[in-house]
Chain A
Amino acid sequence: MRTQLKKMMASGDLFVWASGAGLAVALMMVVGLLLLITVNGMGFFWTGDIVELTLMDGTRVMGQAAGREIIPNSVTPDSPKGKGRVRAKIGNRDLYGLDFKWVDEDTIASQSFPPNAVLLERREWGNFYGWIKAIHRGETPHAEGSDIGWNALLPLVDQANDVHARIYRIERIEIGEINAEIEQARLQIRAVEMNTPKGQTPHGPTLDRLKTAIAAAEARYSEKTDQIEKLNAQFNEYAVVMVDANGQEKQLPVGQIIRALRPNEMGTPAKTWMYLTNVWRVLADEPREANTEGGIFPAIFGTVMIVLIMSAAVVPFGVLAALYLREYAKQGIVVRLVRIAVNNLAGVPSIVFGVFGLGFFVYAVGGTIDTLFFPEALPSPTFGTGGILWASLTLALLTVPVVIVATEEGLAAVPRDYREASLGLGATKFETIWRVVLPSAVPAILTGLILAMARAAGEVAPLMLTGVVKLAPTLPVDTTWPFFHFDRKFMHLGFHIYDVGFQSPNVEAAKPMVYVTTLVLILVVVLLNLSAITLRNRLRRKYAGAAV
């Protein structure tokens, strides 16, 4: 027995089993996490049937099923399985004040799936569940009854969406451009005023030209607002009268409706199509209603942008630093200390980097840029406030140690043979590094970049101090000069998760959105990494035989 035990210990079988078990646990945790997020996130897009529950007391509850649980403490000797209760998404927040309702299964008398029940997605107040009673045009009835009303409603909703798109275009793009023009001219006037000596009134042809420009722009502006007003009137021309499960009536302007569905009449193909449409909407649309509804496109855009700007900043800095440390600096105590410091920098909590970014980039650098280049806009800051550039640079600072370490390892792994061959052909040290060493180290540099991107895409804390916002009215890239607005604030998927999940007025309704956003964040990180990995593998094949 003893010898057997001894043999077993010596063979290392136990160790192999233990390490295998450790790996299995780690894998299970990762897979479990991904599975949880995927299942919850993907379920969000499915349009469930509308169920109508009739309770014992005669009241009715209508909505989409949203889970079931065993009532705590309900497991008694009489009912070993316990009693269940179901959760329904009842919507109609403007009527009930709540989106969800728990219903004890004991109290349900019957349930049905009424085919003509309608789900209305609205621009405000969330979903509405009910039946169509009538459609009015102003005060005159336009269509009566559930089915006639439904048929009349669909084209009206399409029309309303067209009008909405036009209003959006005018508000965001056309008026946005006019506003930018006016602001530009206003700042130029301010600059002229600042250059005029004290006691004199500013005058001159430039000033007159600017003032006429502003007047013209303002005229165009009021033209646009008139257009919007007309469209708005068109928007609210029709109204639909809805009835909820208990007969309560509610009149809604058609302009409020984004989409009208009868989920109970839809077959699987139609629902699948709806599923894909929903996915696309979340990816491509802007958020609505304090981020709990609508899409997350600005957050995706911000995340990708910030990672790309970060990469563009971190690679040159990291590579130059590593080149100096490895190739030029005299190896000794100082370089060793620098290396230790760099490695430790990677362990500094990210919020500390956020504080540094705020103090250095935003206030010091941004403030200086403002006084030097944008004095006419002061006291309102241009670069002296959080923005996508400062946030990206802060992240670059956070991830530069990773790139330095990876690059140094890559440089060290370039065979001495290559350097000697190059030097033997009459190359200088710089030529050797530039033409032979650095290309061979590119895969290692990209490895560093991949690690840096993975870390940067997930960081939220430093962004909160350097420019991320809950809702950015404009993307950092648009059609007005200079197209890239590095001073703008931005949205970010990581911050979006926090905001939607914990800061929204309607946390319960936003829960699926949290999973969806998390899933998208993971996908974005995976996608960014995959593209970098593909690039690295291609380069590796090109430099086949080179180490790393």
Chain B
Amino acid sequence: MHTSTDSTPGLLRIAVTRSEGPSPAGAVKDLKATIILSDVNFFYGDAQALFKVNIEVPRNQVTAFIGPSGCGKSTLLRCLNRLNDLIEGARIEGKILLDGMDIYGPQVDATDLRKRVGMVFQKSNPFPKPIYDNVAYGPRLQGMRNRAALDAIVEESLKDAGLWDEVKDRLHQSALGLSGGQQQRLCIARALAVKPEVLLMDEPCSALDPIATAKIEELFFTLKKDLTIVIVTHNMQQAARVSDHTGFFLMGELVEFSDTKTVFTTPRDRRTEDYVTGRFG
């Protein structure tokens, strides 16, 4: 196992200093958590997709979910902003708390929740509208009509997404004229314009080339100052590079959840080790 991760010797040394003792599914205790999932089960009709998931997602950190296709990591992500509500026959059990509030509680409005928990999708999906209108979509939904305020928020969001310099001269041209990487950063800017507390990213770089991927990965380090980021990825190097905590899913079960270095260097579970070393999956 040590030999298989020899490309990151630094991580090995740090991994030894890991402070946590073993706990089931490895909850992170030393940081205040934004989202707490307790015993979450999820069903598509009769098929169960998630089994008793318990996670505490730490604040202002990047948390990555990894695992083979169909392991339920995307499903879990979409539970966090109740996007699964739209699927007919979908059902959830257990509790998900966002800052102590049960997001599936009876008083919670899913649309209000989604303003607090933004999402970026696997396929970049800008609306067929001008760049400006894409970014201003969220604020306008909330009733913002003031031109100057909208201008400011569009500029700020595009700057945060690292896109401003590339598009500032063509804000009123169609967003569909942008390259794939630019489109994805536009989607990030669009999500940021709503000022969310949590940003969910569902394989945001899977359709991008390495340079575009690198640009987006750089964003994580600046964005996490203000946000809690949860990212689902197939790319283990990416998880290792950008995340602070990593959860490994297999067949709808959270096999292991710990800080990233631990997961990638000294995983507790045999299956995690097999996966991160590429022996299966």
- Write the residues of chain A forming the contact surface with B, with a CB cutoff of 8 angstroms: 415, 417-418, 420-428, 431, 435-436, 439-440, 542-546
Q: Which residues of chain A are near B123, meaning CB under 8 Å?
A: 417
**Bound complex: CA A299 to CA B156 (Å):** 60
Verify if B17 is at the interface (C-beta below 8 Å from A): no
Q: With A417-B121, A424-B119 in contact, do A544 and B174 touch (Cβ < 8 Å)?
A: yes
Give the contacting residue for A426; candidates B86, B176, B187, B194; CB below 8 A.
B194
**Bound complex: CA A424 to CA B121 (Å):** 10
Closest residue of chain A to B138, judged by CB? A425
Closest residue of chain B to A426, judged by CB? B115
The answer on a CB contact under 8 Å between B141 and A431 is: yes
Closest residue of chain A to B115, judged by CB? A426
Closest residue of chain A to B109, judged by CB? A428
Interface centre among A422, A431, A436 (most CB of B within 10 A): A422
With A424-B191, A425-B138 already in contact, 4 other A-B pairs whose C-beta atoms are closer than 8 Å: A423-B86, A423-B114, A425-B190, A427-B111
Verify if B142 is at the interface (C-beta below 8 Å from A): yes
Q: Which residues of chain B are near A545, meaning CB under 8 Å?
A: 128, 176
Q: Which residues of chain A are near B81, meaning CB under 8 Å?
A: 424
Verify if B137 is at the interface (C-beta below 8 Å from A): yes
**Bound complex: CA A415 to CA B83 (Å):** 16
Q: With A424-B118, A544-B174 in contact, do A418 and B125 touch (Cβ < 8 Å)?
A: yes
Verify if B127 is at the interface (C-beta below 8 Å from A): yes
Q: Which residues of chain A are near B86, meaning CB under 8 Å?
A: 423
B138 to chain A, nearest CB (A): 4
Give the contacting residue for B83; candidates A420, A427, A543; CB below 8 A.
A420
The answer on a CB contact under 8 Å between A421 and B111 is: no
The answer on a CB contact under 8 Å between B128 and A426 is: no
The answer on a CB contact under 8 Å between B194 and A423 is: no
The answer on a CB contact under 8 Å between A426 and B114 is: yes
Closest residue of chain B to A440, judged by CB? B128
Closest residue of chain B to A546, judged by CB? B128
Q: Pull 20 A–B residue pairs with CB atoms less than 8 Å apart, ordered by A.
A: A417-B121, A418-B125, A418-B128, A421-B121, A421-B187, A423-B111, A424-B114, A425-B137, A425-B138, A425-B190, A426-B111, A426-B112, A427-B111, A427-B137, A427-B141, A428-B111, A435-B137, A436-B127, A439-B128, A546-B128
Interface centre among B86, B111, B138, B142 (most CB of A within 10 A): B111
The answer on a CB contact under 8 Å between B125 and A543 is: no
**Bound complex: CA A431 to CA B138 (Å):** 11
Closest residue of chain B to A436, judged by CB? B127
**Bound complex: CA A217 to CA B45 (Å):** 79
Q: Which residues of chain B are near A435, meaning CB under 8 Å?
A: 137, 141
**Bound complex: CA A418 to CA B175 (Å):** 13
| Number of A-B residue pairs with CB-CB distance less than 8 Å in the complex they form | 66
**Bound complex: CA A426 to CA B118 (Å):** 8
The answer on a CB contact under 8 Å between A421 and B114 is: no
**Bound complex: CA A420 to CA B124 (Å):** 11
**Bound complex: CA A418 to CA B138 (Å):** 13
Closest residue of chain B to A425, judged by CB? B138
Q: Which residues of chain B are near A542, meaning CB under 8 Å?
A: 128, 174
A544 to chain B, nearest CB (A): 6
B93-104 interface bits toward A, Cβ cutoff 8 Å, 1 = contact, 0 = none: 000000000000
A234 to chain B, nearest CB (A): 65
Q: Which residues of chain B are near A418, meaning CB under 8 Å?
A: 125, 127-128
A388 to chain B, nearest CB (A): 38
**Bound complex: CA A418 to CA B141 (Å):** 15
6 cross-chain pairs, A with B, having the tightest CB-CB distances, nearest first: A426-B115, A417-B125, A424-B119, A543-B128, A425-B138, A545-B176
Closest residue of chain B to A431, judged by CB? B141
Q: Which residues of chain A are near B176, meaning CB under 8 Å?
A: 544-545
Interface centre among B121, B127, B176 (most CB of A within 10 A): B127
Q: Which residues of chain A are near B128, meaning CB under 8 Å?
A: 418, 439-440, 542-546
Q: Which residues of chain A are near B111, meaning CB under 8 Å?
A: 423, 426-428
B111 to chain A, nearest CB (A): 5
B180-196 interface bits toward A, Cβ cutoff 8 Å, 1 = contact, 0 = none: 00000001001100100
Residues of chain B from 114 to 166 with CB closer than 8 A to chain A in the complex: 114-115, 118-119, 121, 123, 125-128, 137-138, 141-142
Q: Which residues of chain B are near A436, meaning CB under 8 Å?
A: 127
Give the contacting residue for A420; candidates B125, B137, B138, B141; CB below 8 A.
B125
The answer on a CB contact under 8 Å between B141 and A424 is: no
**Bound complex: CA A328 to CA B16 (Å):** 56
The answer on a CB contact under 8 Å between B174 and A422 is: no
Q: Which residues of chain A are near B191, meaning CB under 8 Å?
A: 424-425
**Bound complex: CA A306 to CA B137 (Å):** 39
The answer on a CB contact under 8 Å between B194 and A421 is: no
Q: Which residues of chain A are near B125, meaning CB under 8 Å?
A: 415, 417-418, 420-421
**Bound complex: CA A514 to CA B131 (Å):** 55
**Bound complex: CA A418 to CA B127 (Å):** 6
**Bound complex: CA A425 to CA B142 (Å):** 10
Q: Which residues of chain A are near B137, meaning CB under 8 Å?
A: 422, 425, 427, 435
**Bound complex: CA A415 to CA B128 (Å):** 11
B15-45 interface bits toward A, Cβ cutoff 8 Å, 1 = contact, 0 = none: 0000000000000000000000000000000
Q: Which residues of chain A are near B112, meaning CB under 8 Å?
A: 426
**Bound complex: CA A422 to CA B187 (Å):** 11
**Bound complex: CA A542 to CA B125 (Å):** 16
Closest residue of chain A to B86, judged by CB? A423
**Bound complex: CA A38 to CA B111 (Å):** 60
**Bound complex: CA A422 to CA B121 (Å):** 11
The answer on a CB contact under 8 Å between A423 and B190 is: no
Q: Which residues of chain B are near A417, meaning CB under 8 Å?
A: 121, 123, 125
**Bound complex: CA A543 to CA B189 (Å):** 21
Q: With A544-B174, A545-B128 in contact, do A425 and B118 touch (Cβ < 8 Å)?
A: yes
B80 to chain A, nearest CB (A): 11
**Bound complex: CA A417 to CA B187 (Å):** 12
The answer on a CB contact under 8 Å between A421 and B127 is: yes
**Bound complex: CA A418 to CA B124 (Å):** 10
Residues of chain B from 64 to 87 with CB closer than 8 A to chain A in the complex: 81, 83, 86
